[in-house]
Amino acid sequence: MRYINPVRVKVLMMFFYAAGVMGLIIGLVVAPPSMTVMMTFLALVNIGLGAFFTYLFLTQIQKDPDKRKKKKKSR
Flag whether pLDDT at 72 surpasses 80: no
Q: Binning pLDDT at 50, 70 and 90, where does residue 57 land?
A: very high
In angstroms, the CA 37 to CA 18 distance is 19
Flag whether pLDDT at 62 surpasses 90: no
Q: What is the pTM of this model?
A: 0.79
Q: How much is the average pLDDT of 16-37?
A: 94
Task: Tell me the average pLDDT of the chain.
Answer: 90
Other Cβ atoms closer than 10 A to 42:
17
Flag whether pLDDT at 28 surpasses 90: yes
In angstroms, the CA 40 to CA 6 distance is 29
Confirm if 17 and 45 have CB atoms less than 8 A apart.
Answer: no
